[in-house]
Amino acid sequence: MPALAEAPPAAALAAATAVPADAARARPDAVPENAPEHCPGIDAPTAGTSSACQGCANQSICATTPKGPDPDLPRIQARMQGVRNKILVMSGKGGVGKSTFTTMLGRACAGQAKQTAIMDLDICGPSIPLILGLSSHSVHASASGWQPAFVSEHLCAMSIGFLLPSTSSAVIWRGPKKNALIKQFLLDVDWTGGLADDFPAEGSNASAPNLDYMLIDTPPGTSDEHLSIVSLLAPTGLSGAILLTTPQEVSLQDVRKEISFCRKVNLPILGVVENMAGFVCPSCHGNSDVFYPSTGGAKALCEELDLKFLGSVPLDPRIGKCCDLGEDFVYEHPESPAAQAYVDIIRKVQEMCP
Ligand code: SF4
């Protein structure tokens, strides 16, 4: 985005969040949950004006939102054709280790010389910069676009955290602003930072991917960010989603909603990871269930819903410490049961997404 070339972060953020007239459209679940029975769908030409819309709480929004396919989709498709695997990391609840898992997967892929990018879509609570040790990084813009922050030669990340004036700054945005930023992440970030040939020019037939993995860390739940990224990336081919949960029923209930969302929007589920499954004492190596799997945990859920169970990762206090320090837990403590569990899960993911 050339106009941002000399822009300071605050100006870049303002530009990123300018809401275009066509923002927030082309969502995959075209019928909101609060819509009346005969809702024509929010993308329908008659949305907001049909007889079924009379009295609907969404009428004014639907009547004024532009209809039809998002005009940015072809550009996004062209930009993303250089990405081999696009993987969403999702969870029903917050605090189950989603960002931690995303960074472990990213570091592992990059460690095998796979060009890997992490896109942090947790707009209201970005934690990728801290976990990757990039808290002090800010976004630089050049003629080729926004430069992501590089952890190593093969691993980079982009997060709204790089655009905020401080780590305590709150982001209080509605859907259209989030949608606009997500589009900018897809369209304006120079994801390879010039290390590899950049994305193929629009309309080119280049077949070699320039990014092996794009890992997308999403906020908990199923909200605007999920709808936007799925609707924008689905035409480019999404590899699928990895769902994270903890063993107790309160978390499993929420992951069921996530599964329902994925099935509703035709997003393949690569598998389920059970995090915080027991605590292995670093001293005596004794194991105890901190989050008791009263209904059988994630494995039983996967058997019930015919999903792939990727594995269980035990709690280890050193994981949190490594995240706070921006260190690679698997590299620092390869002998730990948690690190070995992560390695096994990551191997399964890579087998599905080579
Ligand atoms: S206004 Fe009409 S199109 Fe929009 S959600 Fe309501 S019923 Fe559906």
Instruction: Tell me the three-class secondary structure of 244-300, residue by residue.
Output: EECCCHHHHHHHHHHHHHHHHCCCCEEEEEEEEEEEECCCCCCEECCCCCCCCHHHH
Task: Quote the pLDDT of residue 178.
Answer: 83
Residue 22 located in a structural domain: no
User: Measured from the CA of 57, which atom of ligand 1 is nearest?
Assistant: 6
Q: Give yes or no for residue 345 CB within 6 A of ligand 1.
A: no
Residue nearest to atom 1 of ligand 1 (CA): 59
Residue 17 located in a structural domain: no
Residue 93 labelled as part of a binding site: yes
Which among 68, 89, 114 is the end of a domain?
68
Both 60 and 142 in a single domain? no
User: Measured from the CA of 42, which atom of ligand 1 is nearest?
Assistant: 3
- In this prediction the pTM is 0.79
* Tokens 């401080």 sit on residue: 166
Both 43 and 169 in a single domain? no
Residue 8 located in a structural domain: no
Helices 98-111, 317-325: axis angle to 10 degrees equals 70
Both 136 and 274 in a single domain? yes
Task: Quote the pLDDT of residue 37.
Answer: 85
Residue 332 located in a structural domain: yes
Rg, Å, the chain Cα set: 21
Residue nearest to atom 8 of ligand 1 (CA): 39
Which among 45, 68, 91 is the end of a domain?
68
Residue 125 labelled as part of a binding site: no
**Pocket perturbation via mutation, ligand 1, pick of 29, 33, 53 by most ligand atoms within 8 A of CB:** 53
Residue 159 located in a structural domain: yes
Buried b (16+ CB within 10 A) or exposed e, 287-296: eebebebeee
User: Measured from the CA of 44, which atom of ligand 1 is nearest?
Assistant: 3
Residue nearest to atom 5 of ligand 1 (CA): 35
Q: Give yes or no for residue 305 CB within 6 A of ligand 1.
A: no
Strand, coil or helix: 80: helix
User: Measured from the CA of 52, which atom of ligand 1 is nearest?
Assistant: 7
Strand, coil or helix: 83: strand
- Give the CATH number, domain containing residue 212: 3.40.50.300
Both 84 and 224 in a single domain? yes
Nearest to 217 by CA among 265, 157, 257: 157
Both 50 and 164 in a single domain? no
Both 57 and 149 in a single domain? no
Domains held by the chain: number = 2
Task: Quote the pLDDT of residue 115.
Answer: 93
pLDDT by residue for the chain (354 residues), tens only, comes to 333 444 445 555 555 545 444 333 334 446 777 888 888 887 788 888 999 999 998 888 888 777 777 788 899 988 888 899 999 999 988 889 999 999 999 999 999 999 999 999 988 889 999 999 998 888 888 887 889 999 999 999 999 888 887 777 777 776 677 888 899 999 999 887 655 555 555 555 555 568 999 999 999 888 788 888 998 999 889 999 999 999 988 888 888 988 998 998 899 999 999 998 888 776 777 778 878 777 778 899 999 999 999 999 999 889 999 999 999 999 999 998 899 999 999 999 999 999
Report the distance separating Cα 77 and Cα 236, nearest Å.
5
Residue 114 located in a structural domain: yes
Q: Give yes or no for residue 314 CB within 6 A of ligand 1.
A: no
User: Measured from the CA of 59, which atom of ligand 1 is nearest?
Assistant: 1
Residue nearest to atom 3 of ligand 1 (CA): 47
Q: Give yes or no for residue 62 CB within 6 A of ligand 1.
A: yes
Nearest to 222 by CA among 185, 264, 257, 193: 257
**Cα-based distances in Å from 319 to 50, 125, 215:** 54, 19, 20
Tell me the residue range of the domain where 257 lies. 73-352
Q: Give yes or no for residue 317 CB within 6 A of ligand 1.
A: no
Q: Give yes or no for residue 43 CB within 6 A of ligand 1.
A: no
